[in-house]
Amino acid sequence: MMAYGCPADAVDEYLRLGETTALLCLEHFVQGIINLFGAEYLRRPTPEDLQRLLDIGEIRGFPGMIGSIDCMHWEWKNCPTAWKGQYTRGSGKPTIVLEAVASADLWIWHAFFGPPGTLNDINVLDRSPVFDDILQGRAPKVNYIINGHEYHLAYYLTDGIYPKWATFVQSIPLPQSPKATLFATHQEAVRKDVERAFGVLQARFAIVKNPALLWDKIKIGKIMRACIILHNMIVEDERDGYTQFDVSIFAQQESN
């Protein structure tokens, strides 16, 4: 059901299970995944993780960058009628918002799920715990120098709607000079990490791509958490293989 997004009664004859039993199995499965693996795969970055993220950011031309942040909507088909207006934006379908931070290997470091679909990215950010560590003084110490200035806060790459804060770096709209054009091109390329993470999450778990068929929002949230945990497991298993192959074997021989 998580991988193919099929409804519970689509597999009842094949599995010889009732619809309600299949839903219960799904519920217990996601709860088990969260209990067993949530602490490891939904953790905040450890100092080693943070150093790796900063090193990758520096290689890609953004020293001090630890990921890109954005929001995604998950359509909620069986949203209670009384809540329809609260969860429905222009598209006419009720949705629930997921705010996420993803790094270059598509690991999702922060996931905040549950705001109603009427909220835009700024309103979701106001409700999000993503900056709680900074506000409470627990943020990890980061030092980097750009243009001779020393900075002490890491930052995220964002699209244009986010506020102009020190912890966000946006692209330059309508860049005029070659310098601004180059920066905008690179920022927009690296910011796509979070969009790619959303795409991969939906491709791996079609339940997130299709409209949510459950009635209970808490259970929908648990399914989303379990999908993110499993996604991060796959990333951890595969990310070392992203650069393992020797590129030279694919190089064409020069013909004389």
Of 109, 110, 107, 111, the residue nearest 240 (C-alpha): 107
Per-residue pLDDT of 174-192, as tens digits, reads 999 999 999 999 999 999 9
Per-residue pLDDT of 102-141, as tens digits, reads 999 999 999 999 999 999 999 999 999 999 988 888 888 8
Question: Looking at the domain assignment, is residue 255 inside a domain?
Answer: no
Strands 155-157 and 149-151: unpaired
Sign of CA dihedral 145, 196, 172, 133: negative
> CA–CA separation, 207 vs 212, rounded Å?
7
Question: Looking at the domain assignment, is residue 103 inside a domain?
Answer: yes
Per-residue pLDDT of 194-230, as tens digits, reads 999 999 999 999 999 999 999 999 999 999 999 999 9
pLDDT attached to residue 239: 81
Question: Looking at the domain assignment, is residue 244 inside a domain?
Answer: no
Judge contact between 52 and 62, C-beta under 8 A: no
Question: Looking at the domain assignment, is residue 253 inside a domain?
Answer: no
Distance of CA 191 to the CA centre of its chain: 12
Question: Looking at the domain assignment, is residue 39 inside a domain?
Answer: yes
Q: Which helix (H) or strand (E) holds 223?
A: helix 217-238
Note down the domain range covering 121.
Answer: 8-238
Rg (CA), the chain: 21
Number of domains in the chain: 1
Q: What is the DSSP string of 50-114?
A: HHHHHHHHHHTT-TTEEEEEEEEEEEBTT--GGGHHHHB-TTSSBEEEEEEEE-TT--EEEEEEE
- The mean pLDDT of 35-43, rounded to a whole number, is 95
The reported pTM is 0.90
pLDDT range class, residue 146, cuts 50, 70, 90: confident
Judge contact between 192 and 92, C-beta under 8 A: no
- pLDDT of 67 strictly over 80: yes
Question: Looking at the domain assignment, is residue 1 inside a domain?
Answer: no
pLDDT attached to residue 12: 85
Question: Looking at the domain assignment, is residue 52 inside a domain?
Answer: yes
pLDDT attached to residue 242: 60
Percent of the chain residues topping a pLDDT of 90:
77
Question: Looking at the domain assignment, is residue 3 inside a domain?
Answer: no
